[in-house]
Structure 1
Amino acid sequence: MYYAEGTHEPIIAPATFEQAKERLRKIAQQTANRKKPSRSAFSGLIRCGIICGDCGAFFGSKVWNSTSKYRRVIWRCNNKFKGEHKCETPHLYEETIKTRFVGAFNAILADKDSALENCRLMQSTLTDCSGLDAEIKSLLEEIDVVTELTKRCIAENSQTAQNQEEYAARYNGFVERYEKAKTRVEELHSIKNVRQAQADAIGAFMFEVQELDTLSEFDNKLWLTVIDTVTVHADGRMTFKFQGSTVIDA
């Protein structure tokens, strides 16, 4: 049995197919999240983006005074009290996160031309996959050659008497070459998909920056679109890394 890729023109381009699958996954996740009641505007959103600058763990939400009128949601490092080392990063109130995000984003808007130019350069770099495409082409040619050699090896063994140990060694060598090339092709396609996703995220960020002159209040959708990660430091600073690698300390 043989498994060959790239032998027929696909109905849908592989990159488009992967983007569609990712989009469907996000829609399914958003639908699931909407079905879950939540007291926090950030639940399920920023816990994936806020990182402890001390230990590298994610921040998660905690509730103080849950049964009283003083109930309040705070965000802190999920590993703060785990193990011997206690993280020095402080907890954060949601109001603090929102206010600092607005300030950081407005700092970008104050010099949007520079930010947009950096994004264009990064987008251009990400979408230039000529090197990857050349390697993929070479590997596909290698797969074709190895596939033909394997077929001949099998045919010769079926038609003439051969030393089976030598035959097995040759056959396994061809299989190993095929699997190695196939695995590398899959890796390269994954790299291309990741780069395209990053380029798309930067594009969404650029769109938001172009459309706004100032941000007056926190916006959940904007957060999801423009934020890559937020690192909280022991001194209370928050470093916002936006899509496109623009970094702002707040």
Structure 2
Amino acid sequence: MVRFIYRSYMNGQTSYAIAKTLTERHIPTPAGKENWRQSTIESILTNEKYKGSALLQKKFTTDFLTKKTKINEGEVPQYYIEESHEPIISPEDFEEVQAEFTRRKKLGRKYSGSTMFSAKLVCGDCGHFFGSKVWHSTSKYRRVIWQCNNKFKGEHFCSTPHLYEDEIKIRFISAFAAFFQNREMVLETCRMLLEDLSDTSALDTKIEMLTMELNDIGTLIREHIQKNAESVQNQDSYNLRYDELTEQYERKKGLLQKMQQKRIEHQSRIESMASFLRTLEKTNEPIDYFDDSIWRTTIEKVTVFHDGRMVFQFVDGTEIEA
């Protein structure tokens, strides 16, 4: 079931769609319940234990009398153990899912697809994504086409044409063949780029410093409140100092959240580049058939223009018209 969830997600399904499918098939959740939730699917998709690793002390006990626990947000050390047990998902597939998970999260509500082409095809007229539509759904002439989701909205309709999936696949094969001609140079460049990207020490230092500063200000706030509770204070002075400290706390908290988000996006870029590099290293010749794995890991987006041109942008930034 874990492999099914990962495979469905990488084939374009949303977490909600996967949860709905499992519920309709009457497959019980890990807790033995009938209804699957989106949050359960997302938890499975991001849990490192399925690739054979373990992260210890995700939670810690704050009160040993009441047994109250709290999610560890840096208060106590965490320990990451690789190859701690037999994996269900390969580490490579797990990292691909993490990169895709972050990509979709960044897209937000724009991502609502159900296939591998979702949130990959972009309209050259308005910049919106293409979505799938079904023509003649109840007849033998049933066809799935892709067109701009914003095509018939607003005052000016988009002039980009609709596409058939077979056409997208054929053009991708052509674009990949042209891209493959520079394979060795791309591999060398990507290895250098990945090495540079992997050095996150400067970003980690900033996060560590902001976390320490935030904790220090939090301590000052608690001490300020405690002092006011234990002895008579001038309330105007107390409130003024309290407001100053809380303003500093919120400002530092905002900076920390931005740095943490930047770290997540940076890690996603590393994972995408690593997946791209692995795919290119094991692909020794141009492909003469559509490979969904190569499509997923090498293509960043495809821009479709009004005259039917399609420009394929690969993860390394290379653009090929096909």
Q: How does 1:65-214 map to 2 (within 5 A)?
A: 65-212=136-283, 213-214=285-286
Alignment partner, residue 63 of structure 1: 134
d(CA) in 2 for partners of 1:183, 1:166? 26
Cα deviation for residue 186 of structure 1 reads 2.6
Alignment partner, residue 291 of structure 2: 219
Q: Is this contact kept in 2: 1:50–1:232, CA < 8 A?
A: yes
Q: What whole-Å deviation, never above 9, does each CA across 1:116-162 have from its counterpart, x for those lacking one?
A: 12322332343222331232232123223313322332233233322
Higher relative contact order (CA 8 A, sep 6+): 1
d(CA) in 2 for partners of 1:169, 1:62? 60
d(CA) in 2 for partners of 1:65, 1:151? 66
Q: Is this contact kept in 2: 1:63–1:72, CA < 8 A?
A: yes
Superposed structure 1 runs of 4+ greater than 4 Å apart: none
Cα deviation for residue 206 of structure 1 reads 1.2
d(CA) in 1 for partners of 2:292, 2:271? 19
Cα deviation for residue 4 of structure 1 reads 9.3
d(CA) in 1 for partners of 2:163, 2:147? 6
Q: What whole-Å deviation, never above 9, does each CA across 1:10-51 have from its counterpart, x for those lacking one?
A: 1349xxxxx88x65x96xx9xxxxxxxxxxxx9522121101
d(CA) in 1 for partners of 2:193, 2:127? 26
In structure 1, the gaps of 5 or more residues are: 14-18, 30-41
Q: What whole-Å deviation, never above 9, does each CA across 1:47-104 have from its counterpart, x for those lacking one?
A: 2110101001111122233333333222111111112111111111212100110111
Instruction: Kindly provide the amino acid, as one letter, of the partner of residue 232 in structure 2.
Output: A
For residue 135 of structure 1, give the secondary structure of its aligned residue in structure 2.
Answer: helix
Match of 2:314 among 234, 237, 242: 242
For residue 239 of structure 1, give the secondary structure of its aligned residue in structure 2.
Answer: strand
Instruction: Kindly provide the amino acid, as one letter, of the partner of residue 241 in structure 1.
Output: Q
d(CA) in 1 for partners of 2:186, 2:237? 62
For residue 142 of structure 1, give the secondary structure of its aligned residue in structure 2.
Answer: helix
Instruction: Kindly provide the amino acid, as one letter, of the partner of residue 311 in structure 2.
Output: T
- Are 1:8 and 2:76 an aligned pair? yes
In structure 2, the gaps of 5 or more residues are: 1-70, 82-93, 105-112
Instruction: Kindly provide the amino acid, as one letter, of the partner of residue 7 in structure 1.
Output: E
For residue 214 of structure 1, give the secondary structure of its aligned residue in structure 2.
Answer: coil
Instruction: Kindly provide the amino acid, as one letter, of the partner of residue 310 in structure 2.
Output: M
Cα deviation for residue 190 of structure 1 reads 2.1
d(CA) in 2 for partners of 1:94, 1:5? 45
d(CA) in 2 for partners of 1:87, 1:199? 35
Match of 2:120 among 38, 49, 56: 49
Instruction: Kindly provide the amino acid, as one letter, of the partner of residue 144 in structure 1.
Output: N
d(CA) in 1 for partners of 2:121, 2:188? 26
TM-score by length of 1: 0.80
Instruction: Kindly provide the amino acid, as one letter, of the partner of residue 189 in structure 2.
Output: N
TM-score by length of 2: 0.64
Q: Is this contact kept in 2: 1:226–1:242, CA < 8 A?
A: yes
What is the aligned-residue identity percentage?
41
For residue 288 of structure 2, give the secondary structure of its aligned residue in structure 1.
Answer: coil
Q: Is this contact kept in 2: 1:122–1:244, CA < 8 A?
A: no
Alignment partner, residue 233 of structure 1: 305
